[in-house]
Amino acid sequence: MINYSPALPNDKNQNPLQESPAPILAKQRFTSENATASSVVSFGHDTTAIEVAAIGGAGVAIKWIATGDTGASVITLAGATSNYDHVIPTNGTNPRRFVIPREIAGSYAASVQGLNRAEGLYQRVAFKSFGISSVMLSEY
């Protein structure tokens, strides 16, 4: 297993800056204004981390979506039907960065493929805001 996530930046004494994002540019950006319905984003072949922000009056929930899931969505209702993996509040720790977890064992075939596919990472994420707010997602 290799360390596939982007490295943290270091200060001049080579100490990791824990609260700073990796010093890289976003590969893709997605913005959904007034996102009250569940939406799904598919990642690029080299995406290993994402950053999610909730803008406006409410937070957002995300769920990692398996490759074979054809009815992909996030449910945030109270009770046994809820299925989210993470919650990003509008105040405090916003935005939040996530290293994409592994869905399956990696396929290290001798073909050209991105790190996301080679490591067997989730290829999609669903998100849904709590009420009327916007969601911004960046891929790294």
Question: What confidence tens digit (pLDDT) does each residue in 42-59 have?
Answer: 999 999 999 998 888 788
SS (H, E, C) the chain: CCCCCCCCCECCCCCECCCCCCCCCCCEEEEECCCCCCEEEECCCCCCEEEEEEEECCCEEEEEECCCCCCCCCCCCCCCCCCCCEEECCCCCCCEEEECCECCCCCCCCCCCCHHHHCCECCEEEEEECCCEEEEEEEC
List the domain boundaries for the chain: 28-139
pLDDT of residue 91: 67
Question: What confidence tens digit (pLDDT) does each residue in 65-109 have?
Answer: 998 888 778 877 777 688 889 988 886 566 888 999 999 876 665
pLDDT of residue 105: 72
First to last CA, the chain: 19
pLDDT of residue 115: 85
Span 3-28, average pLDDT: 84
How far is it, in rounded angstroms, from Cα 87 to Cα 43? 20
Question: pTM of the prediction?
Answer: 0.83
pLDDT of residue 71: 77
Question: What confidence tens digit (pLDDT) does each residue in 115-135 have?
Answer: 888 888 999 999 988 877 888
- What are the φ/ψ torsions at residue 65 (nearest 5 degrees)? -110, 125
Which top CATH class is 28-139?
Answer: mainly beta
Span 4-12, average pLDDT: 84
The tokens describing 46, both together, are: 């080299």
